[in-house]
Amino acid sequence: MRPQNLKTKIFLDSADPEETKKVLEVLGFLDGQTTNPSLLAKLEAEKFIKNGEKLTNKEIYKRYKEIVTEISKLIPDGSVSIEVYDDKTTTAEEMFEQGKEMFSWIPNAQVKYPIIKAGLAAAEMSIKANMRVNMTLCFDEEQAATVYAATRGAKKGDVYVSPFIGRLDDIGENGMMLISNILEDFKQGDGHVEVLAASIRTMDHFLCSLAMGSDIITAPLKILSEWAEKGMPIPGKEYIYDTSKFKDIPYKGIDLNKNWSEYNYQHELTDKGIEKFDADWNSIIIREQ
């Protein structure tokens, strides 16, 4: 069961409803689930695509809807993130139209947009349309401030920003410091954006995110199962995270009161992340003529 002193929401990072069932079994609770094109591609490739065949665009959206609908029924009181397809040519209007469709699939949807110009504009439109969003591929404190500004006026719980810890570690930067910096920066705000620690690769990532007080953590089945085996410990601020391998990410203290278009929200890792999601998505889709 959920530990009484656990304030952070725990999400599963997976597109597989069978893993949802396993987490509910080992933890006894689950606050939400995040999905993305890479996770969907892995699931479809392993379970449904045979002999190198691909699905049509219509078929894969049908499968995606079926999958998140099953997940939603397993965690009806939780949040389920569904990611739009985008590439360098996708407009904000196209993202928003996708988002509206996906948001209608289930009652607890959170539409995922990337932190790029079109994605931020789509998020702004989504909030005005009373939709919930999860702004993904965050690698910089200023990107998080941009999300805050683009979604100003939203209710708490309607907006997540997802910093990717593991991918910053990959380039030798301390991804955990980004979580800490964003949490500190958001103290000056109204609390409408929740920080969702993502790209959790290790138990240290998970425990440190708990110790820092991240609003939400999304982690794969392996990490959540390991946490359960350890008795679901919740470390305090005394938790020591080994940073010897990484460069610090300095705290900037970004002003949250500007228009979102005034911030520098571009980041190379965001662009690379979109390219990877596009490649994974296209690996299972054959475009209809």
**Catalytic residue numbers, as ranges:** 112
Contact 33, 71 (CB under 8 A): yes
Tokens of 112: 């995922």
Cβ atoms within 10 Å of 117's Cβ, excluding its own: 15
Q: What would the 3-class secondary structure string for 209-234 be? A: HHHHCCCEEEECHHHHHHHHHCCCCC
d(Cα 179, Cα 3) in Å, to the nearest integer? 23
d(Cα 233, Cα 5) in Å, to the nearest integer? 10
Give the single-character DSSP code of 107. T
Tokens of 113: 């947009």
* Residues whose CB is less than 8 angstroms from the CB of residue 5 and which lie 6 or more positions away in sequence, other chains included: 234
Tokens of 162: 């997802």
Tokens of 14: 């997976």
* Residues whose CB is less than 8 angstroms from the CB of residue 88 and which lie 6 or more positions away in sequence, other chains included: 274
Closest CA to 149 of 53, 29, 256: 256
